Structure formats: C-alpha cells, structure tokens
Amino acid sequence: MRDMGTQVQILLATYNGVKYLGEQLKSIDCQTVPVARVTIRDDESTDGTQSFLQEWAVGRSNVRLFRGPRLGVTNNFFALLKDSEKACRYCAFCDQDDVWLPSKIERAVAHLSQYSPDGPLMYCSRLEYVDEDLHHLGYSRLPRRLDFANALVENVCTGCTIVLNRRAADLICERLPGRALLHDWWCYLVISTLGKVIFDETPTVRYRQHSNNQVGAATSHAASLKGRLQRLLRSRSGVQLLTEQAAEFKRCFGDLLNPHDKDILERFLAVRGGLWSRASYSAAMDVRRQSWVDTAILRTMILIGRV
C-alpha cells in the first residue's frame, strides 16, 4: 500500500499565487506516499509565480512546468487534465493556496481502489476551512446526497479534493465543454450520472479563505444564508447560468444518459416557460440542493424566472 501514490499525477493550476504557493508545495512533498508526477500549468502570472516554480522544480525529475496562454481557472484545469499522462491511474486537482493534509493522496487511492477501474470514479472529501494564517475556522457541511439531480443545481465536490481515475479523466476529456461554471462542478455533473462519486467524510485539505480566492466559502450559517439571499435578489447572478450549463451538458453527454437522468435534465431545461409552467415545475421539481433552505430558494428563483 505504501507505493500506491506512484499511480497518481497531481495537476496544479497557478495564477499569481506566489504568496501561498510554498506551503501548498511543501504539503505535496509531505504526503505519506510519493506521487508519480506533478504537472503545473501557470496561467501567465505576473507576480513571480513562474520563477518560484522553476526554482522549486530544480532536481525534481517528476515535475513538468507549462506556461500560458491565459485560459482562466476552469480551462486551465481542463488543459491539465487533457494533457495528463495515460500511464498514471489517477489525476488529482490541486489549487495553489491550500494545504493538503499528509494522508490526502493515500486516502483517495484507498477509497478509489475499492471499485473496478473499468468504470468512471471520482473521489472528493470534506474540507477544513482556515484563514490566511491557517487558523481553523470550521468544516464544510457533509452532503446528504450525491446524484445527478443534485449536480444539476449545486456543486458539493470542491476541486482541490478531487481525484479522478483514468476512466473518469478520459471520459471528461472526450467531450470537453465550450462553457462550464467550474471545472469541479462539471466533473461532478459527468461522473454523478455516468460513473460513481465517492465522498470521504474526513477532511483532507486545509482550505484557505482569503481575499484573492477564485472561489471562497461561507464558514458560518449566517454568512451562508446572507450570501444565498443576496444572490436571489440580484437581477442576474451565477444561479441563472445553471440552465446554460445544463444545456451544454446535454450537448456533450445527452446521448449517454440513462432514461431517468435524461428526463430530469429535459424537465429542468424546460423551466424557462411561462408563469404556470414555472409554478408547476417549482411545486414538483425533481432537482434538489443539499439543504431545505437552499432548495426553497431554488424553488423561488424558478418561480420568479431567475433560473
């Protein structure tokens, strides 16, 4: 079991992350199992990130560095995944500003190896929220369900915890989206209906909260509820992009869906009709978020035509 990390390729996307990058790289070095490859793609940083990475890579034969062109965070990760090495059985997404707990890779591979590698598998885990100085703030909530009906309207699989088996990586890369809200959300969409999502209730990443986060997280119930209500009251928000992402998913993978999930998708995409159709769908919708509060907000958004 001690050599199982040699099956893993880490995919690290960077952009102006030199402030915290050293701690993330150190946590990779401190994994309880070694990794086969660390592939890093820098998205044209201007803060010294590239030179920092070049110095770190000296003498490390398992590290590959790439730079640009500028793609943005989601497509940066997709580019890394597309170019990942077929010889590696697992691909692990990695952000630039977190800290991995020492057993992160070991736990992921242990969970994934319980299933046949012939099917698409995705591992993800709970998070420990920390501040800029790595002081504990709290933990992410445990999901109540992991299925396509949830993945259409909510992402519960944070990218820095995700490890894909080779079959899942290949499936995602066969039909990359022209547009997706986030790379991790897209992976959750694909694997929730065409493979298996494995959620580890033990935190494996110290998820740093700071002003430069590409995607942050509310660490209290009050802050979380406030953010949700603010999004509801805006004339246009990210939530309105849900149906656009769903439509792109149908274009990419609609022909592979089972009848049950295909029906869920078709009903969700038809929600932009008149008030009566929105009211009917809102009352009997088959998509759900993790909490009843979030689901109630989603119903309201559908009813007033914000989705």
Instruction: Note the pLDDT tens digit of each residue in 144-200.
Output: 999 999 999 999 999 999 999 999 999 999 999 998 999 999 999 999 999 999 999
Residues sharing a CB contact under 8 Å with residue 23, sequence separation 6 or more, in sequence order: 99, 134
Q: What does the domain layout of the chain look like in residue ranges?
A: 4-208, 221-303
Predicted confidence band of residue 228 (pLDDT cuts 50, 70, 90):
very low
Average pLDDT over every residue of 134-148: 95
The yes-or-no verdict on residue 252 having pLDDT over 60 is yes
Euclidean distance between CA atoms 254 and 43, whole angstroms: 31
Choose among 212, 214, 121: nearest CA to 171.
121
Choose among 249, 288, 253, 289: nearest CA to 269.
249
Q: Lowest mean pLDDT: which of 3-17, 120-134, 265-279?
A: 265-279
Tokens at 259, concatenated: 């009848």
Residues sharing a CB contact under 8 Å with residue 189, sequence separation 6 or more, in sequence order: 148, 151, 152, 245, 249
Instruction: Note the pLDDT tens digit of each residue in 72-85.
Output: 999 999 999 999 99
User: What is the model's pLDDT at position 3?
Assistant: 57
pLDDT above 70 covers a percentage of the chain that reads 87
Cis-peptide into 69, omega within 30 deg: yes
User: What is the model's pLDDT at position 285?
Assistant: 86
Question: What are the C-alpha distances in Å from 198 to residues 1, 111, 120, 189?
Answer: 20, 8, 11, 13
Cβ neighbours of 30 (radius 10 Å):
12
Instruction: Note the pLDDT tens digit of each residue in 207-222.
Output: 999 765 544 555 544 5
User: What is the model's pLDDT at position 130?
Assistant: 96
Could you tell me which residue, 247 or 280, shows the higher pLDDT? Answer: 247
Helix (H) or strand (E) holding 184: helix 183-194
Exposed (0-12), middle (13-18) or buried (19+): which is 61, by Cβ within 10 Å? exposed
User: What is the model's pLDDT at position 281?
Assistant: 84
CATH architecture, domain 4-208: Alpha-Beta Complex (3.90)
Could you tell me which residue, 206 or 220, shows the higher pLDDT? Answer: 206
User: What is the model's pLDDT at position 233?
Assistant: 47
Question: What are the C-alpha distances in Å from 165 to residues 92, 117, 199, 285?
Answer: 9, 7, 14, 32
Average pLDDT over every residue of 288-307: 84
Euclidean distance between CA atoms 147 and 168, whole angstroms: 16
Which residue do the tokens 């914000």 mark? 306
The yes-or-no verdict on residue 6 having pLDDT over 80 is no
Average pLDDT over every residue of 234-263: 85
User: What is the model's pLDDT at position 236?
Assistant: 47
Average pLDDT, the chain: 89
Predicted confidence band of residue 231 (pLDDT cuts 50, 70, 90):
very low
Which residue do the tokens 């995919």 mark? 11
Q: What distance lies between CA 237 and its chain's CA centroid?
A: 20
Euclidean distance between CA atoms 306 and 231, whole angstroms: 10
